[in-house]
A and B are shown apart, each in its own frame.
Chain A
Amino acid sequence: MALSPRKKTRKVKKESPKKKHSVISVRKTATGPVAPTLKRVPVIRRSASVLSQKQSSKPIPEDAVVPSGAAARVYQEIPRELPDNYGDNQIYLLVRDPHWIYAYWEVQEDHQRCHLAKLGGSWESVDSVLRVYDTTEEKKTPSFSDIVLQNMSKCWYINTQPNHSYFVEIGLLHRDGRFLCLVRSNYVTTPRSGMSEIIDDQWMSIDFDKMYALSGGFQVGKSSAELRRLMEERLKNAITSGSGAGAVSSLSSPVKIKQRGFRFWLECELIIYGGTEPDAKVTMQGRPVQLRPDGTFTLRYGLPDGRFVFDCHAESSDGVEERVITPIVSRNTERPAPVIKTGKHP
């Protein structure tokens, strides 16, 4: 799984904003004043199969399909896809784990163009960047790094440090170092990946390393992950018992010869059926048999190897007459050794 997006990171201190940077990931086109960066309806990365792959060149406002005041039957034409774009200018951060945060955003074309104008109006000298600020040390000016955005990207996984705080901006970075923020995110803090460095004296007269170990602390990455994976697999199997039939059946094939994946099994069942007067009493091996309204009946047995005597009685409803029919069935299965036809091997 591609967890780490292709990205280009630069650690830039505020003191040296004019440091020359290289642009490798944005393809500049000469087709017009506006470069493709951030401009078109973006492709959803890695999720094209679940969302529409349609790449319209115009954002689709979600209410465009149903004109206001439209009659009720227009509702049948409701789009069954979610909108690609909500018309917002925003960016939002989610924490995935100590080492990754996830950003998604929307920046509208006019919003970009308006800012671009302030930087001279030419995409030739400007990059779209995702600027990641580390605000962990509160008193210091936050350090930041820039990620030059790919064409039309809409979201990004950003590599982080555990227990650090971040916010990000999407902005336009001019060659001369000027940066104009288009959207700014929320603040997030990544989880720590180990024990806290803060100790509460009132509560700390204990060998914490040992306490940590006894609590399974040194197994946190390993064993809790292992356990949870197992549990997830179990759950996955559990909840697919119905509809994940493909997965289940492939696991549950009764007899497998693993090397070639060729499977062959055979079971034997015996069907005994008959009929009598609808009000007669029928027994098989002494147990009553349920008759259909027309007096017929069917019995079905798994038949292992061996000889079986089926003792079937019918008694008339007035109890005057009894008849007995006793089929005797024997099954004997032979299993010759498998034959491998070597000549036919592909």
Chain B
Amino acid sequence: MEKGFLSIVLHAHLPFIRHPEHEYFLEEAWLYEAITETYIPLIHIFEGLERDRVPWRLTMSLTPSLMSMLQDELLQNRYLRHLDKMIELANKEIERTRFQPEFHETALHYYWEFTRARDTFANRYHKDLTQAFRKFQDHGHLEIITCAATHGFLPLISRNEGTVRGQIKTAVELYEKVLGRRPIGIWLPECGYYPGVDKYLKEQGIRYFLTDTHGILHASPRPKYGVFAPIFCPSGVAAFGRDVESSKQVWSAIEGYPGDPDYREFYRDIGFELDFEYIRPYISPDGLRVNTGIKYHRITGNTEEKQPYVRGWAMRKATSHAANFMFNREKQVEYLHDFMGRKPLIVAPYDAELYGHWWYEGPEFLNFFMRKTAFDQKMFRLIAPSDYFREYPVNQVSTPCFSSWGWKGYSETWLSGANDWIYRHLHKASLRMSEITQKFRGQNGTVGRALKQAARELFLAQSSDWAFIMHTGTVVPYAVKRTKEHLLNFTRIYDDLMNNRLDEGWLRELEGKDNIFPDLDHEVF
């Protein structure tokens, strides 16, 4: 009999980026890279586990904006076009490296990975990867949880009830449409929790959410089992807290696995290194060099002289890291079990895109870890958070503390000098959304469509990603543009509705462009 449980939770999210008005759009590549390097590799690993009848359990959040993009026909076709280019490039690379054996093996590896990805994407799942994930959930291995509709950071946009209720309800409805059931859990965007938000989760039948460590530890009354057991909010919705130790092993700069010298170096990409004329068809059409995803070097160490990547060494390292991670969890569980007098649950949440996209060997690490855990130890069992209640239906009632998993643990990342200007506009728009919903309630036709589009624009403006990007200072102009554009679109619909002068042509154009949540129910506002 096991002495405890481990829940690995991968949070898969990308903001809704879709620009039909441009033939090529740089930021759309975030999705393509994540598909090739994270989502498809994870699918391959899950398939392998099923093929080999490995008992496994993993939890993943697929955010509504990501699901919407994965199901969008335009983006599906663009991804395929992108992947075909990559296959073409990998093919050229096989030839180009024929006299450089130290790179040639890796070139073959990319060709194999890309062509396999193409087969998986186009032939086996007919361009809709959500259905791959659905299959693993239906088989009882993957627990898919939802997230707020557009990843709005709820503590800062909760000015009116309709906004929060809309973010949650819209998410749940999309989940049900795509995955054929209602979600049992939710990843609160950025783990942003404020007391009271659980009420809206309960309304939608959501049983649990995840918080950062201090969300549980600073709950009131004191949580007897720390982060190693969930607590029930007074509403009855459960909160699970992040374990620090297991996070640190993966992400710490010093102790973390992904920095190992044998792993692939992220920053050496042929998009930046090869002859311009040769690489030109595979970078931005305006000649801006970008990552292609083909990288030939390993981290090597703290040096600029990077050595060639050796896939075999990297795989061997991933197995030993998986073994180490398992060993540490065994020790942790054993110790906690004796101290608590109850089976501890260790919750280890990560950004999904960091597996594969950033830590190239991350998916293989998970693969080895889940296999070893199934067969080489008996100390703990992999479960999804919802499984915990079967073992322990009774848990302490306590109110979690306002928290997030952002920098410093609260709201600063999304509320600082770089981005605080957005809130007066976001709030005004959400109040106006409620106003026009009341005023035009029950109306169909163009007015109904305008109300729905207004809600879409509002949701898109609320994505925490824009504030995050403004804060980190990377692609700020794009984030500012997106925030303003959606707010201005919203405002125009509002003004047009109030003045009874809707422009149907313009509305139709907007519906085609910002086409997220086609079945959205705006009456929630």
Binding site for B on A (CB under 8 A): 1-3, 44-47, 50-51, 62-63, 66, 68-70, 72, 75, 78-83, 86, 88, 92, 94-98, 102, 104, 106, 154-155, 189-200, 203-206, 208, 210-212, 214-217, 219-221, 223-232, 234-245, 247-249, 251-256, 258, 267, 269, 285, 299-304, 306, 308
Contact = CB atoms under 8 A, between A and B. Distances in A.
Contacts of B226: 211-212, 214-215, 217
B66 interface: no
A298 to B, nearest CB: 10
Given A2-B417, A63-B495, A96-B411, A238 B354 contact: yes
A104 to B, nearest CB: 5
Contact of A198 (B222, B336, B417, B505): B222
Q: 7 shortest A-B CB distances, which residue pairs?
A: A216-B244, A215-B226, A196-B220, A97-B410, A252-B267, A191-B402, A200-B221
A198 B401 CA distance: 13
A308 B99 contact: yes
B99 A241 contact: no
Given A94-B415, A216-B243, A229-B407, 9 more contacts: A69-B501, A196-B221, A208-B222, A215-B213, A238-B358, A252-B268, A300-B92, A301-B99, A302-B97
A206 B224 contact: yes
B19 to A, nearest CB: 12
A179 B255 CA distance: 58
B241 A215 contact: yes
B404 to A, nearest CB: 9
B407 A228 contact: yes
B152 to A, nearest CB: 14
B218 A194 contact: yes
B401 A192 contact: yes
A302 B221 contact: no
A221 B409 CA distance: 8
A102 B420 contact: yes
A242 B27 contact: yes
B410 A95 contact: yes
Interface stretch (B162-170, B197-205, B486-494): B486-494
Contacts of A200: 221-222, 224, 396-398
19 contacts: A72-B505, A78-B488, A102-B423, A155-B424, A206-B340, A208-B222, A215-B227, A220-B217, A220-B218, A221-B408, A227-B248, A227-B252, A228-B406, A236-B472, A241-B291, A242-B284, A285-B98, A300-B95, A302-B99
A248 B228 CA distance: 39
Contacts of B418: 46-47
Contacts, number: 294
Nearest to B359: A234
Contacts of A302: 96-97, 99-100, 103
A299 B99 CA distance: 12
A81 B336 CA distance: 56
A80 B441 CA distance: 29
Nearest to A67: B499
Contact of A192 (B218, B223, B228, B501): B218
B353 interface: yes
Interface string B3-24: 0000000000000000000000
Contacts of A217: 213-214, 217, 226
B339 A214 contact: yes
Nearest to A46: B417
A303 B99 contact: yes
Contacts of A251: 267
A82 B424 CA distance: 11
Given A94-B156, A191-B410, A227-B248, A81 B218 contact: no
Nearest to A240: B474
B118 to A, nearest CB: 19
B268 A254 contact: yes
Interface in B457-472: 469-470, 472
Contacts of B26: 242-243
A200 B231 CA distance: 13
Contacts of B505: 72
Contacts of A81: 484
Contacts of B492: 75, 78
B222 A237 contact: no
B268 to A, nearest CB: 6
